[in-house]
Chains A and B, each alone.
Chain A
Amino acid sequence: MKNAVEIHSLNKTFDGMDYVLKNLNLNIPEGHITTIIGFSGTGKSVLLKHILGLVQPSSGRICVLGKDLAAMSPEELIDFRCHLGVLFQHAALFDDMTVLENVCFPIIEHRRNWETDAIIETAARKLKDSGMEEKHFHKLPSELSGGQRKRVGLARALALDPEILLYDEPTTGLDPILTEMVDDLIRTTHDKHPGSTSIVVTHDLHAAFNVGNFIVMLDKGGVLLQGNRDTFFKSDIPLVQSFLEKGFKKE
C-alpha cells in the first residue's frame, strides 16, 4: 500500500524543554480516510500543521506525496500546498468576501489563464457538491450558519482538486445533527474523489470510528495505537479502553 504521508522520528518542541511531539513515526495510507484521535493536548493539531508545512519540526522527517517538506524552499512549499486542501476548525473563511468569492479565490490565484466564467462555474459546482444552495452564494460568511460555513470551507478546500484533504476538528462546537451532516459530507466527498486521501483530526470518537477506515491514536506526542476499528475495540491498552469508554459514554 502506498503512503500519502510518511513521518519518521518527528520531534517538536516550542520552548526547547517540553516536547509536543516525541519520536513520532506514522504512515498515512493513500486513498483512505485516516482519523487522528487523542486527548486534548496530545499534539493532534501540531501534527496537522507539520503535514501542511506550517510548522517546522525540531527534528525528524515528513514526506508528503513522496516529497520531503524539509528539503523544499519556502517558495516550493507554497506551490506544493496546492496539492493539499484544508477544512479548518472554524472554516477560516475570508470575512470580506462573499461565499462565491471565497471559493473563486484559490482558483483565481492558481488558474490565472482561466476565463472568469470558467472560474465562477467551477466554484459554483464545488459549492453545490458541498451542499450549498445557490441563494447563499452572494452572502457574506457572517450571514451563514455554522454548518453552512463548513460546507463553504469544504468547497474552498476542494477548489483546486487536492490530492490530500485535511479536516481540523471539523465537528467541534456543532450540535449532533450538524455533526452527523459533517460526517456524511466527509464520507461523500471522499467517495466523489476516488483515490484522494482524507485526514481527519478529531476528538469526536463517533466521527472518528464512523468516518475513518484507518485510525491513529496519539498520546504524549507519539502514536499510541493505529489500525482499524477492530484493532481499537480489541486493544487491551488501558488508555485506549478508557478513551473509548469515556468517549462513547459522553456521546
Chain B
Amino acid sequence: MISAWMRTRDKIDKAIDNFFLSIWQTLIVLFSETGSIAFFCAESIKQIFTKPFRFDEIIKHMEFVGNKSLLIIMLTGAFTGMAMSYQIYLGFELVNAVNLVGPTVALGITRELGPVLTGLIVAARAGGAMAARIGTMRVSEQIDALEVMGIDAKQYLVSPRILAAFVAMPLLCGVFDFVAMTGAYFLCVKVLGLDEAIFWDKIQLWLNPRDINEGLIKSAVFGVLFSTICTYRGYNTKGGAKGVGEATNTGVVYSMVIIIVTNFFMTNIIRFYYKVMGIK
C-alpha cells in the first residue's frame, strides 16, 4: 500500500519536474532565439550601409513587398472600413451618437487596424515568400554558392529585403487607411444616410496628423520585424523541402504573433511619450 503510494508520489514529482523543465527549456530557447534574431537584424541593418549598395535588389524587393501587395491591401482595407463603420454605427445609434462614427472609425483605422492588418497581411504574403525563397536557396546550396563566390549572402539576400519592407510598409499602411476610410464613407454616407458634411467635419475635428503618423511608424517597425524573422528563418533552414516548409510556417506564425504583441507595447509607449511631452 505504502509502496504504491510512494510510486504514485514519485510519478507526480517527476511530472511536475518535467513540466517546469519544459517551461525552463522553452524559455531558454525563446531567449536564445530572440537574441539570435536581434543580432541577425542588427548585422543586416548595418550591412545596408556597406558597399556595394544594392539599389537594384532594394527596388526589386520593394516592388515585391509593396506593389504586389497593393491589391490585397486595398481589398482588405475597403471591407475592414465598411465592416468596422457598420458595427460602430449600430452601437452609436443606441446612444444617439452616430455623428461620432467617422472619427471613431478614423482613429481605430489609422492608429490600430491599419498598421496591424497591413502587417499581418504582408507578413503572410511577402514574409512567407521571403522565408520560402531564402530557405530553398539554403537547402539547394545557392547560399553556399554565393559565399564561395565572395559575396556576402546576408548583405545580398537579407538587407535589401529588410530595407524594402521598412520603406514599403508605411506606404501600404497609408493606402490601407485611405481605402478603409473611403469604404467607411461609402457605407455611412451613401448606404446608411449619415450626413456627409458631419462625417468629414467630425473626422477633421478629432483626427490629428500624429494619429496617422503613429500608424505609419508602427507599420515601418512591423515591416522590419516580419522581414527579419522570415529571412532569419529562411537563412537558417535545415533539411530539405520539410525544412523549407517549417521555416516558412514558423516565420509567418512568429511574425504575426510578434506584430500583435509589439502593437500593444508600441501603443503604450507612444501614449506614454505623448503624456511625458504634454501632447493631448
A92-B149 in contact (CB<8A) = no
Tell me what chain B mostly uses at the interface: helix, strand, loop, or mixed: loop
B260 at the interface (CB under 8 A from A): no
B150 at the interface (CB under 8 A from A): yes
B13 at the interface (CB under 8 A from A): no
B22 at the interface (CB under 8 A from A): no
A94 at the interface (CB under 8 A from B): yes
Partner of A90, one of B141, B147, B149, B151: B141
- Chain B residues with Cβ below 8 Å from A110 are 149-150
A52-B148 in contact (CB<8A) = yes
Closest to A80 in B: B150
How many A residues touch the partner, as a band? 20 to 34
Min CB–CB distance B154 → chain A (angstroms): 10
Closest to B152 in A: A78
- Chain A residues with Cβ below 8 Å from B140 are 90, 92, 95
How many B residues touch the partner, as a band? 10 to 19
B195 at the interface (CB under 8 A from A): no
Give a binary string over B47-88; 1 marks a CB under 8 Å from any A CB, 0 the rest.
Answer: 000001000000000000000000000000000000000000
A92-B150 in contact (CB<8A) = no
Partner of A105, one of B52, B149, B152: B149
Min CB–CB distance A182 → chain B (angstroms): 17
Give a binary string over B138-162; 1 marks a CB under 8 Å from any A CB, 0 the rest.
Answer: 0011101101111110000000000
B141-A81 in contact (CB<8A) = no
- Chain A residues with Cβ below 8 Å from B151 are 78, 106, 109
Please give the residue numbers on chain A whose beta carbons come within 8 Å of chain B beta carbons, in ascending order: 49, 52, 54, 78-82, 84-86, 88-90, 92-95, 105-106, 109-110, 112, 156, 160
* List of 3 A-B pairs having minimum Cβ-Cβ separation, nearest first: A92-B141, A92-B145, A82-B150
